[in-house]
């Protein structure tokens, strides 16, 4: 790897912020890719892409808000062209497990002519602590349209570690790392583990897709509600209920268990209820 900065697109997100922190701690030059960065990057402003990519050889690509959103594939394809035109050599893409639109974006990166690593992640544990489920956890009820399916819930710290390895070591070129946790959990089981760690009862409430859509309308509007409901329809049907060895192959260690995640979050105070 050269001394050129590593661009982290989505540097303020769950994965990107961790990747930035890890790269800096390892002594790598980092260019943060966000709208508020010194050299801004904005997915909705293609004119910002060339300045952000200039002088960069390696970039991490996390698409906001999700690869399932309308137009995501077109933007990923356009970004790969701009990256190649500006001398970028390698892209590391964050992808979603079991999502057709994410697979389409993976194929765009795979066929771009650039070096690449694909990091295909399962459902994030941090959705319970940093995402839209944190407030419901504090209220004691997590409602999702997931029935009694099981998920191999992945820790974002594992995803970040894999991405950093891919960004800094060419041995990972051409690899697809599918990231899962070490065991399958139903959301009812996940809620029970959160309860034990947080010290107050949290229960899982299965809801319909229609009920989920209605709840999301109040959070992000119609487009957000439509897309995230469709993601749930596509992914929370049980077809992702199996484990993979992406963490083991990339890092040579086991993935982090959900119970460890719960204990750490509880100790941090994130799940502390107001008096």
Instruction: Give the pLDDT confidence score for residue 1 in this predicted structure.
Output: 43
What's the structural domain count of the chain?
A: 1
Residue 63 lies in a domain: yes
Residue 163 lies in a domain: yes
Instruction: Please list, in sequence order, all residues whose beta carbon lies within 8 angstroms of the beta carbon of residue 229, skipping any fewer than 6 positions away.
Output: 145, 209, 212, 213, 216
Residue 75 lies in a domain: yes
Instruction: List the beta bridge partners of residue 186.
Output: 150
Residue 247 lies in a domain: yes
Which residue range(s) make up the domain with 66?
6-123+154-180+243-256
Residue 266 lies in a domain: no
Instruction: Give the pLDDT confidence score for residue 131 in this predicted structure.
Output: 84
Residue 71 lies in a domain: yes
Residue 165 lies in a domain: yes
Domain harbouring 19, CATH code = 3.40.50.720
> Mean pLDDT in runs of 10 for the chain (275 residues)?
86 98 98 98 98 98 93 97 98 96 97 98 97 94 97 98 98 98 98 98 98 91 91 94 98 98 98 86
Residue 145 lies in a domain: no
Instruction: Give the pLDDT confidence score for residue 275 in this predicted structure.
Output: 66
């Amino acid at each position: 790897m050269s001394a050129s900065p590593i661009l982290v697109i989505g540097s303020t997100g769950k994965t990107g912020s961790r990747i930035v922190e890890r790269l800096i701690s390892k002594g790598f030059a980092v260019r943060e890719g966000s709208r508020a960065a010194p050299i801004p990057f904005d997915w909705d402003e293609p004119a910002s892409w060339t300045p952000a990519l200039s002088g960069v050889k390696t970039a991490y690509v996390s698409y906001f808000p999700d690869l399932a959103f309308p137009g995501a594939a077109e933007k990923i394809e356009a970004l790969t062209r701009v990256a190649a035109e500006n001398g970028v050599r390698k892209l590391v893409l964050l992808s979603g497990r079991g999502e057709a639109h994410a697979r389409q974006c993976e194929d765009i990166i795979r066929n771009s002519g650039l070096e690449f690593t694909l990091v295909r992640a399962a459902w994030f544990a941090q959705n319970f602590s940093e995402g839209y489920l944190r407030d419901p956890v504090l209220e004691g009820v997590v409602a999702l349209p997931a029935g009694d399916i099981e998920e191999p819930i992945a820790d974002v710290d594992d995803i970040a570690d894999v991405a950093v390895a891919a960004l800094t070591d060419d041995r990972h070129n051409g690899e697809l790392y599918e990231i899962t946790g070490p065991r399958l959990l139903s959301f009812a089981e996940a809620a029970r583990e959160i309860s034990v760690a947080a010290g107050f009862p949290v229960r899982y409430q299965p809801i319909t897709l229609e009920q989920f859509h209605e709840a999301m309308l109040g959070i992000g509007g119609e487009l957000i509600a439509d897309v995230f409901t469709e993601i749930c329809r596509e992914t929370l049907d049980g077809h992702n209920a199996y484990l993979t060895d992406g963490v083991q192959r990339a890092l040579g260690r086991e993935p982090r268990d959900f119970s460890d995640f719960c204990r750490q979050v509880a100790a941090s105070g994130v799940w502390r209820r107001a008096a």
